[in-house]
Amino acid sequence: MTLKVPYLRWFVAFALFMAALLNYVDRNVLGLLATTIQKDLNISNQEYASIINFFLIAYTIANLLSGRVVDKLGVRWSLALFVAWWTVANALTGMARSLGQICGLRFMLGLGEAGCYGHFVAGHQTGLNLDDILVFKAILQFRYYLIGNWRYYSAKI
């Protein structure tokens, strides 16, 4: 006997949205702390750029491979893996004390964060029909509008 939970598909969609929002915030928080990090670690603009590049290289590599992980492990287990991975990498980044440590940890963070978007491609497994998926994707795009406006208005203060 299966228990049918009303609106379960939208609960799953909301959980995926929150994961994507956390992913986006995690990815951009380093930019907000750039001057503090540069001062604390005594690094130049070029060294800071290498931190960003390590993240972007890992993110690119993981974007290419994360779909296979989702296919192999399934949506639930792979999302749990990716979220746990980027949570640990993000927590350890706060303890980094050298340029090498922070570059390595940002690389690890990039590997974990890229896996989030493979789950939206697998959205049909949540029970959403095509119309629901289109609404959900519109909601996901709305987060860029929200965060973009927040950054714009907070810069004016």
Residue 72 lies in a domain: yes
Residue 26 lies in a domain: yes
In this prediction, residue 153 carries a pLDDT of 46
In this prediction, residue 86 carries a pLDDT of 86
- The H-assigned helical ranges of the chain are 8-32, 34-41, 45-73, 75-93, 99-113, 118-121, 130-156
Residue 3 lies in a domain: no
Determine contact, residues 35/46, Cβ cutoff 8 Å.
Answer: no
- The phi and psi torsions of 33 (rounded to 5 degrees) equal -100, 15
In this prediction, residue 48 carries a pLDDT of 92
Token code pair at residue 2:
């299966």
Per-residue pLDDT of the chain (157 residues; tens, 9 = 90+): 465 766 777 777 777 777 777 777 777 788 888 898 899 889 999 999 999 999 999 999 988 888 888 888 887 788 888 889 988 998 998 898 899 999 999 999 999 888 876 655 555 455 556 566 666 666 666 666 665 555 544 454 4
| Rounded CA separation 28/20 (Å) | 12
Determine contact, residues 9/126, Cβ cutoff 8 Å.
Answer: yes
First to last CA, the chain: 57
- How many structural domains does the chain have? 1
The domain of 109 spans: 8-156
Q: Residue 126, class by beta-carbon neighbours within 10 Å (0-12 exposed, 13-18 middle, 19+ buried)?
A: buried
Residue 97 lies in a domain: yes
Residue 1 lies in a domain: no
What does pTM read for this prediction? 0.73
Residue 2 lies in a domain: no
Q: Which secondary-structure segment (H or E) carries 81?
A: helix 75-93
In this prediction, residue 26 carries a pLDDT of 77
**Which DSSP letter does residue 127 get?**
T
